[in-house]
């Protein structure tokens, strides 16, 4: 244990940690630009896949030649009642599973307002039942396994509509009917509030958690189902499924099962513990995630790549190593905190910094910052491991087009920005003990480099 852990903490930071309380005009403009740009980007990807042989640059050139308005009118995805009803059914089914399937009761992280909320982790069961129904129905010939792929255009409209409506509702609820007023933030900018969210943990009643449901269920349960459907689409087109499709779907499958298997851990990650529920999470998890995270399979179904045996094995080895680090780093933090540091990692006594923080009710709480294991290698080794997996996923599509690499570039920006946000928050929460941690573990993400 470090020296600092043994000493009493003199300065305790005020509970200013959490998302920004006030929005500057730069933040407001930034939020506006993101809300306008990211849905456009999502649609451009679809247009490029459908009409421009998977080339985003060709689509952009056409948009600039035709003019953006004409281009948008000519290519905008069409509404489909069938897809809209199908998506409504999907949401109700997942809401039913979330509300009624048995699960383990688990605790989130203490909020700035001092609440310690409970969640029912039943995502793995919901995921399994959904997949048994869909794959079983396909094998029995009752449904076309490629139906999601074939209705993708209409589904794009449906998920976008829902994502926007949900974000508007979340903002309205945050202003007028907050579940936990002590944990809400009103920045003074309606646009920034729309983007970043007002409420931390909006709920229906005591238990039905808006954020927990939307972050995991409609998007992440769908992720592997979408993969399966695009693989079936590829099979129907080509008469076979390529190894590249199988490998990327397998990486996704591992990632998704890991998420639901460790749903209890997820309640203590930044999404649930610190991010407020606004457009970023509402639209992001219901719309952006299922559309962007599945780009590789959407691309491969139309433009297959053929990997050699050596390439396949190299990608598998790299991606699985990334996964092993990801899981181990994420496990270590929870494991050590649950044992209050009285345990070993990698065969040695755990090293950590003990710290305290206060919540807005004035109460003092204890925590610890791990300085050994992966958390002693770099401050976000779990992000580095996530990027290794993202790289392996995208590399299954080859190196000829940018579009299927969007996921890797997006994750690099997201995780870099997240590390900045997180460290700012940790600094205001733990003060000099965070500085001591940064001194002991100088690398942010990639050890020895950055
Ligand atoms: P982390 O799980 O990395 O949690 C960060 C928090 O851990 C900090 O806010 C702090 O919270 C605590 N902490 C920081 N340093 C230490 C330490 N040394 N010892 C103990 N606790 C520490 O954050 P994320 O939620 O961002 O990531 C979780 C996983 O999800 C990552 O593997 C990430 O790659 C992945 N992810 C995936 C995304 C995707 O879209 N695929 C998106 C975002 C994340 P506290 O207040 O508790 O001290």
pLDDT attached to residue 109:
86
pLDDT attached to residue 16:
58
pLDDT, tens digit, 9 for 90 and up, residues 87-98: 999 999 999 999
The percentage of residues in the chain with a pLDDT greater than 70, rounded to a whole number, is 96
pLDDT at 229 over 80: yes
Residue nearest to atom 33 of ligand 1 (CA): 383
Closest ligand 1 atom to Cα of 371: 18
pTM for this structure?
A: 0.93
pLDDT attached to residue 1:
38
CA atoms within 13 Å, Cβ hemisphere of 147? 13
pLDDT attached to residue 364:
87
Going by the DSSP 8-state scheme, the letter that residue 117 receives in this structure is -
Burial zone of 369 (CB within 10 Å; 0-12 exposed, 13-18 middle, 19+ buried)? buried
Pure H helices in 101-203: 123-139, 147-150, 152-176, 190-196
Closest ligand 1 atom to Cα of 271: 25
pLDDT attached to residue 6:
32
Residue to mutate (ligand 1; options 422, 424, 433; most atoms within 8 A of CB): 422
> In angstroms, how far is the first alpha carbon of the chain from the final one?
25
Residue 269 near ligand 1, beta carbon < 6 Å:
yes
pLDDT, tens digit, 9 for 90 and up, residues 33-84: 999 999 999 999 999 999 999 999 999 999 999 999 999 999 989 999 999 9
More confident residue, 113 or 6: 113
Residue 109 near ligand 1, beta carbon < 6 Å:
yes
pLDDT attached to residue 19:
64
Residue 421 near ligand 1, beta carbon < 6 Å:
no
**440 CB neighbour count, 10 Å cutoff:** 16
pLDDT, tens digit, 9 for 90 and up, residues 374-432: 999 999 999 999 999 999 999 999 999 999 999 999 999 999 999 999 999 999 999 99
What 3-state DSSP class applies to 121? strand
Mean pLDDT taken over the chain: 93
What 3-state DSSP class applies to 320? helix
């Amino acid at each position: 244990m470090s020296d600092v852990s043994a000493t009493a903490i003199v300065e305790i930071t005020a509970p200013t940690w959490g998302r920004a309380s006030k929005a500057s005009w730069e933040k407001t403009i930034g939020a506006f630009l993101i809300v306008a740009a990211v849905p456009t980007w999502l649609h451009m990807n679809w247009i490029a896949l459908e009409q421009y042989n998977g080339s985003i640059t060709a689509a952009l050139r056409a948009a600039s030649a035709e003019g953006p308005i004409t281009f948008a009118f000519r290519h905008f995805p069409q509404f489909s009642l069938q897809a809209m009803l199908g998506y409504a059914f999907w949401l109700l089914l997942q809401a039913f599973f979330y509300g009624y399937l048995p699960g383990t009761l688990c605790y989130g992280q203490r909020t700035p307002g001092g609440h310690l909320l409970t969640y029912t982790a039943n995502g793995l069961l919901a995921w399994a039942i959904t997949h048994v129904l869909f794959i079983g129905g396909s094998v029995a010939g009752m449904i076309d396994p490629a139906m999601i792929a074939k209705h993708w255009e209409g589904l794009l409209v449906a998920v976008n509509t829902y994502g926007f409506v949900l974000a508007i509702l979340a903002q309205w609820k945050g202003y007028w009917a907050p579940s936990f007023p002590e944990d809400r933030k009103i920045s003074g900018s309606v646009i920034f509030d729309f983007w970043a969210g007002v409420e931390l943990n909006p709920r229906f009643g005591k238990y039905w958690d808006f954020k927990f449901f939307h972050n995991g269920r409609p998007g992440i349960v769908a992720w592997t189902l979408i993969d399966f459907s695009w693989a079936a689409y590829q099979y129907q087109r080509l008469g076979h499924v390529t190894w590249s499709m199988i490998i990327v779907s397998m990486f996704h499958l591992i990632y998704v099962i890991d998420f639901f298997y460790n749903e209890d851990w997820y309640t203590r990650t930044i999404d649930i513990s610190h991010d407020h529920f606004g457009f970023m999470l509402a639209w992001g998890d219901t719309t952006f995630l299922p559309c962007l995270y599945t780009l590789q399979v959407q691309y491969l179904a139309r433009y297959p790549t053929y990997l050699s045996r050596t390439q396949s094995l190299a990608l598998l080895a790299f991606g699985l190593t990334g996964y092993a680090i990801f899981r181990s780093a994420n496990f270590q933090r929870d494991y050590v905190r649950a044992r209050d540091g009285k345990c070993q990692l990698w065969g040695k006594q755990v090293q950590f910094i003990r710290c305290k923080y206060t919540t807005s009710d004035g109460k003092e709480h204890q925590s610890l910052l791990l300085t050994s294991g992966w958390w002693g290698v770099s401050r976000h080794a779990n992000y580095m491991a996530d990027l290794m997996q993202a790289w392996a996923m995208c590399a299954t599509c080859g190196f000829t087009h940018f579009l299927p690499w969007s996921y890797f570039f997006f994750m690099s920006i997201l995780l870099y920005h997240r590390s900045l946000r997180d460290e700012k928050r940790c600094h205001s929460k733990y003060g000099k003990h965070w500085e001591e941690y940064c001194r002991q573990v100088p690398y942010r993400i990639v050890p020895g480099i950055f």
